[in-house]
Amino acid sequence: MTSATPIDPVLADPLPRRRTVGVNVGGVLVGGPAPVVVQSMTNTDTADVDSTVAQVAQLARAGSEIVRITVDRPESAAAVPRIRERLDRLGLSVPLVGDFHYIGHKLLADYPDCAAALAKYRINPGNVGFKDKKDRQFVDIIEMAIRHDKPVRIGVNWGSLDQELLTRLMDENSALAQPLSARAVMRESIIQSALHSAALAEETGLAREKIILSAKVSNVQDLIAVYRDLSRRTDHAIHLGLTEAGMGSKGIVASSAAMGILLQEGIGDTIRVSLTPEPGGDRTKEVQVAQELLQTMGFRQFIPIVAACPGCGRTTSTLFQELAETIQNDIRRNMPEWRERYPGVEALSVAVMGCIVNGPGESKHADIGISLPGTAEVPSAPVYMDGVKVATLRGAGIAQEFHEMVLAYIERRFGGGRAAAE
Ligand code: SF4
């Protein structure tokens, strides 16, 4: 580049958020001017009140702002008001969403306390009923939502797509001179199913600000295409999620890739990361991943971020990995209490670095950072606070001392001087 070459103004921010009609879900605004909301879903039997309350509480304490539960049979519907009551007694106001399939219209009619206790009903237009019953049963649920003054999510899923609609669009497509691919027709069917159902709900009398749409598929490229198209064709609030994302890193990568691109384009008002937990695994992982996705992209702040280098041949000990892990775990464990005790602490950044190459630089960029000694370096660890070197730690107690310094920094900066007053 010569000195005369103009600097290319590459964008370093997301595109403006698409403005949608905001929907109040039990006190949590989804869409409109609200930040992107994190939600999750239980995998307990809803009829088992104890285990469902315990899991909803875990998800809410991990930061899930809305929690969805399955309402699949009379026993589940009967349990919902008891679950709501128990959560209220625990001081957890997290809104509950009922996930209905096949017999939702009947359960909501037979269990009015369930209908009242839920903050939103999720309806899948692909399995709300078949043939002539389909629209009637869909309308029954919408009328129930109107009666109880609740919003709904019309959640289309390609695994249970309305087969009559798909067949009709396939037939119409094959009659075209230049037919689209079967995949493109499938995507169009998903979008039409959502839009047709939303129009029917509004014709029935449900207000636009009571309707959220989702259109989930399990392929990343299809998901991006579907949501781009859907968001061009409606201003309804949008729930994003990749269905059947899978286990472990595969599920995390696929969900993050798909939703990251859409969020960058301003699409999406609430997200759910549908991870398959390991047997006996922690359900709150999906909340953690959703929060980290939004936070690393700069949309929201939930929890202090610990930046750590990956380590390389210059690090012969695992000290910095252990220290980074200890601090991250400590932050995660304490966050439910710290949110109350230290307002603003979620914006804190901590760096734990493995050697002198990038250690001091990265540590200076963080609010508090440490640069541990690499192989053959002097066994000392400079600590930086707010970009200024404040100490040099040495010896076997480095990890413990830095850990204490982080806690003291949090108390001083976010504790409002309480430590001094106590
Ligand atoms: S900071 Fe040092 S130890 Fe860490 S990755 Fe870079 S060179 Fe390796």
Instruction: List 247's β-bridge partners, or say none.
Output: 276
pLDDT number for residue 418: 55
Give me the CATH number covering residue 114. 3.20.20.20
Q: Is residue 213 part of a domain?
A: yes
In 5-113 the beta strands, taken as DSSP E runs, fall at 23-25, 28-30, 37-41, 66-70, 96-100
- Ligand 1 center from residue 359 Cα (angstroms): 7
CA distance 216 to 324: 36
Same-domain check for residues 328 and 201: no
- Ligand 1 center from residue 279 Cα (angstroms): 35
Q: Is residue 1 part of a domain?
A: no
Query: Could you tell me the two tokens for 99?
Result: 């996930």
- Ligand 1 center from residue 19 Cα (angstroms): 43
In degrees rounded to 5, what are phi and psi of residue 210?
A: -120, 10
Number of domains in the chain: 2
Same-domain check for residues 262 and 358: no
Query: Could you tell me the two tokens for 410?
Result: 């949090």
- Tell me: pLDDT of 132 over 80: no
pLDDT number for residue 311: 87
CA of 358, closest atom in ligand 1: 1
Determine the structural domain holding residue 404 and report its residue range: 305-412
Q: Are 120 and 94 in contact (CB under 8 A)?
A: no
pLDDT exceeding 90 applies to what percent of the chain?
A: 74
Strand, helix or coil for residue 50: helix
- Ligand 1 center from residue 194 Cα (angstroms): 49
Q: What angle do helix axes 248-264 and 220-233 make, rounded to 10 degrees?
A: 30
Same-domain check for residues 289 and 342: no
Q: pTM to 2 decimals?
A: 0.91
Same-domain check for residues 122 and 156: yes
Q: Is residue 251 part of a domain?
A: yes
Q: Which of 256, 275, 297 is the last residue of a domain?
A: 297
- Give me Rg for the CA atoms of the chain: 25
- Tell me: pLDDT of 184 over 70: yes
Q: Are 62 and 288 in contact (CB under 8 A)?
A: yes
pLDDT number for residue 421: 39
Per-residue pLDDT tens over the stretch 201-251: 999 999 999 999 999 999 999 999 999 999 999 999 999 999 888 888 999
Same-domain check for residues 224 and 358: no
Q: Is residue 373 part of a domain?
A: yes
312 is in an annotated binding site: yes
CA distance 259 to 108: 32
309 is in an annotated binding site: yes
Q: Is residue 51 part of a domain?
A: yes
**Region 160-182: what's the mean pLDDT?**
94
Q: Is residue 422 part of a domain?
A: no
Same-domain check for residues 114 and 248: yes
Task: State the average pLDDT for the chain.
Answer: 92
Query: Could you tell me the two tokens for 211?
Result: 């309707």
Strand, helix or coil for residue 102: coil
Cβ atoms < 10 Å from Cβ of 306? 23
Q: Are 120 and 27 in contact (CB under 8 A)?
A: no
**Region 146-170: what's the mean pLDDT?**
94
Q: Is residue 9 part of a domain?
A: no
Confidence of residue 321 (pLDDT cuts 50, 70, 90): confident
In degrees rounded to 5, what are phi and psi of residue 92?
A: -105, 110
114 is in an annotated binding site: no
Same-domain check for residues 328 and 370: yes
Same-domain check for residues 285 and 390: no
Q: Is residue 265 part of a domain?
A: yes
Residue-wise DSSP of 260-290: HHHHHTT--SEE---EEPPTT--TTHHHHHH
Ligand 1 pocket: which of 320, 358, 365 to mutate (most atoms <8 Å of CB)?
358
- Tell me: pLDDT of 291 over 60: yes
Q: Which of 297, 318, 339 is the last residue of a domain?
A: 297
In the 8-state DSSP scheme, what is residue 353? E
Residue showing tokens 């698409």: 18
Same-domain check for residues 280 and 393: no
Find the residues whose C-beta lies inside 6 A of ligand 1.
309-312, 314-315, 353-355, 357-359, 374
Same-domain check for residues 52 and 180: yes
Q: Which of 246, 278, 297 is the last residue of a domain?
A: 297
- Tell me: pLDDT of 95 over 80: yes
- Ligand 1 center from residue 32 Cα (angstroms): 43
CA distance 382 to 397: 14
Q: Are 255 and 274 in contact (CB under 8 A)?
A: yes
Residue-wise DSSP of 301-318: --S-EEEE----TT--SS
Same-domain check for residues 287 and 338: no
- Tell me: pLDDT of 153 over 70: yes
Give me the CATH number covering residue 353. 3.30.413.10
pLDDT exceeding 70 applies to what percent of the chain?
A: 96
Same-domain check for residues 266 and 315: no
CA of 312, closest atom in ligand 1: 8
